[in-house]
Structure 1
């Protein structure tokens, strides 16, 4: 099996290594020629955490990389997906399976990432790969559980067969909308968790996790998905990796933000919170945690006061 991974960031690089080393496939890792990170990977065959086997080759030719593969994995920033897809044609993607290994919602439109793909490539086989896991843990041989979902059962089975290994136990998802929204929304909860850490209110993370899952579940249901999906691996199951882990970009962003420390890595929860609030308005669902995060990072409001007010809301039934 020839697999191309598009995106040479932390997760994309891991996926290329994992697919070659653990699944035994021939892998092409695509990155832009102008990317210093890609040049380092191509020259050293290492990113400082992982050393790539010989079955991984590097390419800065997107069209050649896509055309050479039966399966194409995309792992880039969610807000860059539209411009990335504009470079591809339906003809060169025909007959291939595409797998989105990224979490987010397009901020400018509120579209889920599979909806963005379908705008350009309406007929391809398409799946998402979501759930918990950090490169640093996988590198040490610590396994985890993740979800493959698609609007096609045959595509789900095919993708799991391609990528299964003892390091990752896959589950079949049965709610594509819910898994996409849940995976994106957990990054916003991660920012809120980091803010609590930065304000020395870490003890409130339990309440944050419980109420955050309820909030996201209500939105998923209103959008036409299954509320229970918020309690699965794509959202609640990913909280340890997002709400607590020192490797979480979103948690670290939130902590640094309230402490006034610059943060230069990608935190997908920042554009996602804008999209979630737009979806909440469309679906008439109150999203108090999302509103609080937005008020702090985009509204310039005082973090301690905003987050404190979340826990001083009117008394109501828990469920």
Structure 2
């Protein structure tokens, strides 16, 4: 099967490597002028992996899409709409698009599958691929469970079966809304976890896990999804990789923020935090943890005071 991967960052290169590893023909696309693509072309490797020689590399989007049976998109969530417009311009939109990123659009709070329908049309065949795992762990041979979800059960099962292997076992998600919101929001709690680490309050991660899932389940239910989806692989199941792992960019961002260290990698939770506050207002659901992180990052409130108030000073029924 011909698989095209759009995006040549950490996860994009992994998805290309993985699709090739399980026997597919793979083309990897990067934006014209991308330093990541230039590095791969010149060295066939990046800081994470060696790229097999028979994976085609290109900056030509039309060429990358032509002949593809399935397209994986693995870029920053905030770049999806502009990329979807470029895809629409090629008129190559008939194949399934698998979204391998976690986030919400800032300014609108819209889910990524919604953006795909708005830009490619209501018949866009979109699947989301989310769940726990880190590139470094997968490359070392450490297996994990992940989840596929879409608005079509047959499509979900088909795509999940195509990409399943001993390295990644897929579960079929039946609640697309809850899966997308949960996958995006866990990055915000990853930032919160990193901030707790920065203050040596790591023991409070248990409270963060319990209260985080609770507040998010209320939002998902209000939006029309299943509150129980939050307790699955897309959200709670991803907490180990996001709240505790040294590989987690969002956790590291939160810790470095407290320690006042520079951080130069993508922490998608920063954008998601802003989008979640839009959803909180729209659906009139309080999100205390998200609010605290938003106030720290965007309102420049004192992190120590906000986190102490959030976790240590409230007395109420659980």
* CA distance 1:181–1:292, shift in 2 (3 Å): same
| CA apart distance, 1:37 | 1.2
Whole-angstrom distance in 2 between the partners of 1:235 and 1:45: 34
- Aligned ranges for residues 76-91 of structure 1 at < 5 Å? 76-89=75-88
| CA apart distance, 1:68 | 2.5
Whole-angstrom distance in 2 between the partners of 1:91 and 1:37: 23
Whole-angstrom distance in 1 between the partners of 2:89 and 2:313: 50
Whole-angstrom distance in 2 between the partners of 1:219 and 1:159: 28
Tell me whether 53-62 or 142-151 shows the greater mean CA deviation. 53-62
Q: Deviations over 1:105-157 (max 9, x none)?
A: 00111100000010011212110000001011001100000000000012111
- Aligned ranges for residues 142-161 of structure 1 at < 5 Å? 142-161=142-161
Whole-angstrom distance in 2 between the partners of 1:106 and 1:160: 25
Match of 2:35 in 1: 36
Asked if 2 retains the 8 angstrom alpha-carbon contact of 1:66 and 1:92, the reply is no
Whole-angstrom distance in 2 between the partners of 1:54 and 1:157: 30
Whole-angstrom distance in 1 between the partners of 2:157 and 2:236: 24
Whole-angstrom distance in 2 between the partners of 1:90 and 1:114: 18
- Structure 1 unaligned runs (5+)? none
* 1:245 aligns to 2:245 (yes or no): yes
Give the match's secondary structure for 2:276.
helix
Match of 1:110 in 2: 109
| CA apart distance, 1:199 | 0.8
| CA apart distance, 1:94 | 3.6
Match of 1:8 in 2: 8
Aligned length: 317
| CA apart distance, 1:90 | 6.8
Whole-angstrom distance in 2 between the partners of 1:248 and 1:75: 17
Whole-angstrom distance in 1 between the partners of 2:54 and 2:179: 32
Give the match's secondary structure for 2:156.
helix
Asked if 2 retains the 8 angstrom alpha-carbon contact of 1:149 and 1:179, the reply is yes
Give the match's secondary structure for 2:71.
strand
Give the match's secondary structure for 2:87.
coil
Instruction: Please report the TM-score for the alignment, with normalisation by the length of structure 2.
Output: 0.97
Give the match's secondary structure for 2:97.
strand
- Aligned ranges for residues 65-104 of structure 1 at < 5 Å? 65-89=64-88, 92-104=91-103
Match of 1:234 in 2: 234
Whole-angstrom distance in 2 between the partners of 1:235 and 1:5: 24
Whole-angstrom distance in 2 between the partners of 1:30 and 1:165: 24
Asked if 2 retains the 8 angstrom alpha-carbon contact of 1:4 and 1:69, the reply is yes
Asked if 2 retains the 8 angstrom alpha-carbon contact of 1:3 and 1:69, the reply is yes
Whole-angstrom distance in 1 between the partners of 2:41 and 2:280: 43
| CA apart distance, 1:224 | 0.5
| CA apart distance, 1:200 | 1.0
Asked if 2 retains the 8 angstrom alpha-carbon contact of 1:249 and 1:267, the reply is yes
Give the match's secondary structure for 2:149.
strand
Tell me whether 91-100 or 278-287 shows the greater mean CA deviation. 91-100
Instruction: Please report the TM-score for the alignment, with normalisation by the length of structure 1.
Output: 0.97
Whole-angstrom distance in 1 between the partners of 2:288 and 2:280: 10
| CA apart distance, 1:91 | 6.5
Q: Deviations over 1:173-226 (max 9, x none)?
A: 010000000000000000000000001111101110110011111111111100
- Structure 2 unaligned runs (5+)? none
Tell me whether 92-101 or 269-278 shows the greater mean CA deviation. 92-101
Tell me whether 31-40 or 242-251 shows the greater mean CA deviation. 31-40
